[in-house]
Amino acid sequence: MAFDLDMIKKVYSNYGSKVDAARKVVGKPLTLTEKILYAHLWDGNASKAFKRGTDYVDFAPDRVAMQDATAQMALLQFMQAGRPQVAVPSTVHCDHLIQAEVGADKDLATANIQNKEVYDFLSSVSNKYGLGFWKPGAGIIHQVVLENYAFPGGMMIGTDSHTPNAGGLGMVAIGVGGADACDVMAGLAWELKFPKLIGIKLTGKLSGWTSAKDVILKVAGILTVKGGTGYIVEYFGEGARSLSATGKGTICNMGAEIGATTSIFGYDEKSEAYLRNTARADIADLANAVKEHLTGDDEVYNNPEQYFDQVIEINLSELEPHINGPFTPDLAWPISKFAAAVKENGWPAKLDVGLIGSCTNSSYEDISRAASLAQQAIDKNLIAKSEYTITPGSEQVRYTVDRDGFLDTFGKMGGVVLANACGPCIGQWARHGAEKQEKNSIITSFNRNFAKRADGNPNTHAFVASPEMVTALAIAGDLTFNPLTDTLTNEKGEQVKLDEPKGWELPAKGFAVEDAGYQAPAEDGSKVEVLVDPKSSRLQLLDPFKAWEGTDIKGLKLLIKAKGKCTTDHISMAGPWLKFRGHLDNISNNMLIGAINFFNDKADTVKNHLTGEYGPVPATQRAYKAAGIGSIVVGDENYGEGSSREHAAMEPRHLGVRAILVKSFARIHETNLKKQGMLALTFANPADYDKVQEDDLIDIIGLNEFAPGKSLQIVLNHANDTKDTFEVNHTYNEQQIEWFKAGGALNIIRKNMGA
């Protein structure tokens, strides 16, 4: 139905020659990661070796996937490009906006009402421009991608941090912001700093209570939440080959928790079995024909220290089940040490809720193993002491595990099946009583456990573990229970022990589904109308930004001189504003409200130079916009760090800010500003930041000679009639200067499309 066989054939058709060319320029055997990256260069065959951790490289990803929260602005922007169809196969997945409250059916029905306009928009825009659309209830983006789109040796980007899940099937899959997704769908290259590489050698074999989740829980403990930043993590070794494809997916998914760019496993028999079991035998055959290119070279895996920047070895035969947390996923406890840690730290030992499933852990293997424990609880007269929920990752998994009786088993244990959606994992959990903010413990098979993430309660101690451990602890209702050694008292007063979980990697009868929830796009979308209510508060079609007027820009008001940290959260706050992500004008009411004004040390209080009064930043800027007066934002070091949220660049552009002048930029934000046609400038001498005064009128000089590597000038016209003039730098290349002149990158694409 959904995968694009022709695209995959094309990718594989010259894979060997691309890998050979790369091996030649690099001059040594290649890791799998390098093979995939060099096989996806925007410019075709490799002509030079890239320096890891230094060189910025243009890539040509094969696919794009978007979830419903981030897809809105990505697609609104894509519409600006004037293309009749997306340039690469792309999909939208409605998973983030469904709130878990009572159970799957009712929660899904409520979401369909509450989010109707967003779903209608995403469905119609997908239909028009050739994107696959996965309806609410179809499943969670990463599980649906693994089941339908991931393929060995491929490269994809996705607008969600756990996109690396597809690495379980040998794909370089990287989480990005909506602006990047928009670019690739619009036919532009995608830029990434060539990553450094961590090799993780897995030896031995999992057994008993230990599962794939424990591998990544252990790795998180070793590398911490920052250890993977700037790295791709490549797993190899006999232990890696012994893991199921979905188990590998779990490990790659949670690589996001160590900050890794992505994680990946090579193609093997388990990958092949998963492809065949999920109705993709064609892809398995194609992959088999090029399989020597779909793993790292033997020499690399025999002498990993010579080829990876860092190497870790883990023996699966000795790996204990782990429980990580609370409040951070890298606080790793082997089960044998966990009970003591609970007692020593005074964490609530009573376990209130166990939650299994999510994009991280809802495979057939996960569910069947957890269900084997639930069945034991029933057989051994144990009543689960904690609440227990199951979040299937896709309708295909849900239907299959229902057919095979597992959901029934969970039901008998008191489990509640939630919608095939993110739900509690993204805080979409109407947990009753959470507002009382009581100290309590929950354990999940999800990936993140930061304070407030699941239920908004800062005192909820959330731990992450495998679905098997979550289920065992939920039966016990006690965090200090170690199912490997401890017994439980059953209803008859007997001491009983849980046996090791048992399950199946893949369903013996194959996967099945009645309605997977997929909507294919129209063959010819030209007549399809995109549905956006002009009165909507959540969605707004975009107008192209105006082109540069062709002169120096003079007389700008100082909107704010931001002091200290100014992250994308300070510039475009999340939380309650998320619902306006598809409405640029409404979300612009959060513009810079978190930034601290240098002149009064207050947030969201700046001088309106038209009235002399102090007021909120967005309202002040709107007053300038209404008066047709431009403004400038001045900032400190690393301005725009944090996320790749494109709203942080679009909002100032929309409200009429002409330039952002700072001591230094976070690179992604700087690029986002350039894409929107904004001037992103840095002080040549950072001390000039101190010269900017509150009442200055500011000129930007030299724009007619705007060229790569050539500085511009700033003139500060102070209120006392004195002036300060100094140089400012920029990092625009030729193409980016064209973006500035045209008023934004998408304006250029539209022009090139003749729209």
Tell me which residues are annotated as active site.
95-96, 160, 448, 643, 645
Sole residue written with tokens 């709203």: 647
Binding segment for ligand F3S among 140-148, 343-351, 589-597, 720-728 (CB under 6 A)? 140-148
Kindly state the tokens that stand for 542.
């975009």
Q: Is residue 418 involved in binding ligand F3S (CB under 6 A)?
A: no
Helix (H) or strand (E) holding 172: strand 172-175
Strands (DSSP E) contained in 576-656 are 606-607, 614-615, 631-635
Please check whether residue 287 is in contact with residue 8, taking contact to mean a CB–CB distance below 8 angstroms.
no
Write down the least CB distance from residue 421 to ligand F3S, Å: 8
In the complex, the smallest distance separating the C-beta of residue 386 from ligand F3S, rounded to whole angstroms, is 20
Task: Identify the residue among 123, 278, 394, 447 touching ligand F3S (CB under 6 A).
Answer: 447
- Residue 425 lies near ligand F3S (rule: CB under 6 A): yes
Q: Comparing C-alpha atoms, which of 126, 136, 257, 139 is closest to residue 520?
A: 126
Q: Is 250 in the site for ligand F3S (CB under 6 A)?
A: no
Asked if 516 is part of the footprint of ligand F3S (rule: CB under 6 A), the reply reads no
Q: Which region, judged by CB under 6 A, interacts with ligand F3S, from 137-145, 482-490, 548-556, 557-565?
A: 137-145
Question: What SS3 state is found at 596?
Answer: strand
As a whole number of angstroms, the distance between CA 725 and CA 650 comes to: 29
Of the CA atoms within 13 Å of residue 607, those in its CB half-sphere come to 13
Smaller CB separation from ligand F3S, 176 or 748: 176
**Rounded least distance, CB 750 to ligand F3S, Å:** 32
Yes or no: say if 633 and 593 are a contact pair by the CB < 8 Å rule.
no
Binding ligand F3S (rule: CB under 6 A), the pick from 18, 128, 142, 645 is 142
- Closer residue to ligand F3S (CB): 95 or 478: 95
160 binds ligand F3S (CB under 6 A): yes
| CB closer to ligand F3S out of 237 and 354 | 354
Stretch that binds ligand F3S, among 134-142, 556-564, 654-662, 733-741 (CB under 6 A): 134-142
Report, in Å, the least distance between residue 249 CB and ligand F3S.
Answer: 11
Which residue in 66, 10, 6 sits closest to 40, CA to CA? 10
Question: 164: closest CA among 93, 300, 65, 298?
Answer: 65
Shortest Å distance, C-beta 351 to ligand F3S:
21
Q: In the block, which residue shows the tokens 């849900």?
A: 398
Question: How many chain residues interact with ligand F3S (CB under 6 A)?
Answer: 13
Q: In the bound complex, what is the minimum distance in angstroms from residue 359's beta carbon to ligand F3S?
A: 3
Number of residues that this document lists for the chain: 755
Interaction of residue 252 with ligand F3S, rule CB under 6 A? no
x/- track of binding to ligand F3S for residues 82-121 (CB under 6 A): -------------x--------------------------
Phi, psi of 192 (to 5 degrees): -145, 140
* Of residues 142 and 750, the one with the C-beta less far from ligand F3S: 142
Check residue 422 for interaction with ligand F3S (CB under 6 A).
Answer: yes
The angle at the Cα of 635, spanning 175 to 730, to the nearest 5 degrees, equals: 75
What residues pair up with 199 in beta bridges, in sequence order?
A: 234, 311
361/375 with CB nearer ligand F3S: 361
- Which of 312, 271, 310, 263 has its CA nearest to residue 294? 271
Amino acid at 249: G
Segment interacting with ligand F3S, rule: CB under 6 A, options 420-428, 514-522, 571-579, 590-598: 420-428
Q: Does 560 bind ligand F3S (CB under 6 A)?
A: no
Integer angstrom CA distances of residue 305 from 198, 221, 309, 586, 630 = 10, 21, 7, 52, 55
Beta-bridged to residue 698, according to DSSP, are 556, 716
**Between 66 and 474, whose beta carbon lies closer to ligand F3S?**
66
Site for ligand F3S, rule CB under 6 A = 95, 140-142, 160, 162, 358-359, 422, 425-426, 446-447
